[in-house]
Amino acid sequence: MANGDAALAAGMDVLTGNEDRRNGWDEINKSRDYIAQRTSAVTPVAKGGTGATDADAARANLGIPEIAPPVVAVANAIPRYGPTLQLQVQDPVHPSHAATKYYVDDAVADAASDKIGAGGGTITGTLYMPNLAPAASGYVAMYRNSDGRVSISPSALRFKKDIHDHPYTLEQLRAIRVVTYRLKASIYGSPDAPLDFGVIAEELIAAGLAEFVVFDGDGAPLSVHYERLALVAIGALQELADRFDILEQRLTTLEARHAED
């Protein structure tokens, strides 16, 4: 086959050799147009193409079933799916054809930035965050809401109504028993649980302090609001302060009488 025969068979213009060399630039541009047209053309299945302009149509033309995308594992990130960024992944079953490519969406975008959208997707199961940076400024405690959301505790006056005093007493503070314990193997995961410190939820209920206990869906004690137990100590200290003021007043009165005598 001579040079140019394939181009001629494809419908392209070929040179005879007698053309003016000064018009070579025009022939170069014409060749580039042919390349661009060939690149953007849809090749029919009969000629080894897909007969389509997108992956879904190509799979349909070739009779290839759609394959679910794999899990994208990125360190310290939680994949989430959405409509924005897409990562192209090659199908390992049919790796030789472009029609078998499928896409994984913006999981990569979130994974790369270690962010989860403020709205939308959810997380289920156990969440591990082993490499958290220390909270150094402007931090606030986070809580799990009853519907599963993670949020803060609204404590400012503008968030509250029906506000009334709720005193706690020294007697209630004395009813709180601080204990040492080890978690059971079924909870900790091994029989070698370290020594820990805390209180017993059932004992708080017996002491009339059930408001500091968290209950599960069946109404059984589950956990304790440790951060709120300080309220009992505040109430007990206020009671002690009131008693101290009374004793101080009595002492002042006795000293004044003694000075008169």
Domains recognised in the chain with CATH numbers? 1-41 (no CATH), 52-116 (no CATH), 165-261 (1.10.10)
- In Å, what is the CA distance from 132 to each residue of 80, 114, 118, 209, 223? 20, 11, 19, 34, 24
Task: Determine the average pLDDT of the residues in 46-59.
Answer: 81
Assessment of whether the complete model's pTM goes beyond 0.85: no
Indicate if the pLDDT at residue 49 is higher than 90. Answer: no
Classify strands 102-104 and 87-89 as parallel, antiparallel or unpaired: antiparallel
**How does pLDDT run across 135-189, given as a tens digit for each residue?**
888 888 888 888 888 888 888 999 999 999 988 999 999 999 999 999 999 999 8
Q: Where are the beta strands (DSSP E) in 99-240?
A: 102-104, 143-144, 150-151, 179-181, 196-198, 213-215, 221-224
Instruction: Give the model's pLDDT for residue 182.
Output: 95
Map residue 26 onto helix, strand or coil: helix
**How does pLDDT run across 102-112, given as a tens digit for each residue?**
444 444 444 44
**How does pLDDT run across 182-240, given as a tens digit for each residue?**
999 999 989 999 999 999 999 999 999 999 999 998 999 999 999 999 999 999 999 99
Written as one letter, the residue type at 172 is Q
Instruction: Give the model's pLDDT for residue 113.
Output: 52
